[in-house]
Chains A and B, each alone.
Chain A
């Protein structure tokens, strides 16, 4: 692509990409993207017009779902237990995974690791963890622990280790070295340096990331529930299977409310904790 063109007849010819070349370049990018999408769509047998030709199916589904059977809330007390299960899964998963990630993070950051090779291995482990979709982990855990929220909880914990191990390790690598040096100069051991110089510095970021992890895990817990992990996701999938669509819509509404409320609550607690983080230290 000819990029810089000198305008003729000038003393000091300034170089700039003229609009026509810019347009051609943009057109090329766009054309490439569109061609890729069309070819991909053909390969997938993706039929976008289905949205219009099969729209009546969507309408029918909508009609079957309305009115939502909100009565579930008082007719079926077990519902609260399933909601509790979902929240508990994500809470414990975040806690266990976060604790493990926190411990491993010290091994995985340059300034606290016992050996660079150990650091590289731990980092690789985090990378593998992050790349593995947590539902794959869940399928394997089902064999060991059987179906149910326990397996889902462990899958969430394992997933959290990968994601938050990296975040925590990065936070530890970014701490200000001065306090560490001053603590070390008093003659503190490596563990004491970590306790009195590094942990106070990274704690706010750990807390913030922990709450973020909880939000992510709550969504994931619902998804894992659909695969047999229990909780409200499983309940939803059951209702789907037996075609009780009013229940489905009610459950979806509950999920939306649950996620929105939990987001607000965790936001509130996080802000409280971070504002009073002095007492946390």
Chain B
């Protein structure tokens, strides 16, 4: 018996010693090293294999694009120093000289052509194929000049160039796709060091970067899916920057002195699509408008999200070019809703609303709040939570959604057409709506090269959309971050995190 106790004591002592020997709370090794904790791990470090925002954020530290957006989301040069329209369907782009990939390979026009063509290789499963579908081919004029030939006049080209990540042709050809994903090589401000799946990705500063020496020396990207653990990691100093903090957790962070909260209106909008294509009551505009009047969006924002969200008046958030602030919101007017329903002969309407669980901040809670309000105001609404994101996406893409479906939307291009066509044009996978007049306006605006005229067209289009009410117009999300006070950083409006924008 004594021996058992002795061995137990030894084991316990070992545990206690290990605990005591825990490294000091600033887990990062050096003073200018940081740790960023997001919710999931990068899917790929081959940037062309993904369209997922978290993965793109991590990849943006390793790869550059031709153009990029500054803090104010204005287009600025990156690997492309200038661009101009040579003719209606030809764009000429001048490349930055003297840039090399992390392995020493020089960056030039062949890289641009290679990177573009790789996405469209038949055996390459890239989700980015839809991003550049208007480009017919890339022409190499000289080592530092390329020309993009588009199939149709495409005013969105500069926006597309902010998504053209550049890969090293000789490296990829040499090591193959699998290795290019596991050991990425780019021209970016940070070089890849190591990747342990679901554990961490380490990158270190590329002092030879064309934008200068980064202030951050080493960065560790860590996926911490559980919100409580992520917040705890920030509080203990294990992480310096965390993302996706829901409004209800803010008081935990404000109570911790070493950290602060940063907020930024997102490019992501949350709306409740009404499946008009299902016909019946939903095909009647009056019913859809009634639905909009029956939900107190502002009230829900104020209570559930504690004011962290801004109502949208149509299908675009304020920070996308083309937004028209003069378009009116639907006021919360249950009486008007009842009148409209009566006029449409739908006094006993019963609907089902579907929402995911955990995809967006407080999604299922907001969905339940919306359904609750609709029910209170004469439209009995059932909530169906579809926890599995795959099924959720499928129901949308297969056009088999419930009557109302919650959705979030943000494309990194910030190109106005991407805010109307994919989710409202007839026949588009995400769209559960069909209106030929709206379609026509979309197509017109998409091809209009004159900026002034284009803006007017979008105003018109957005107003039309608002009046036809294919959605319950929800809100622009507020991206909330938790930051350690030793970092000097403010968020961007496009959900991205640029390590080069972090200082001390």
Q: Do A and B come from one complex?
A: no
- A residues at B contact (CB < 8 Å): none
Interfacial residues, chain B to chain A (CB-CB below 8 A): none
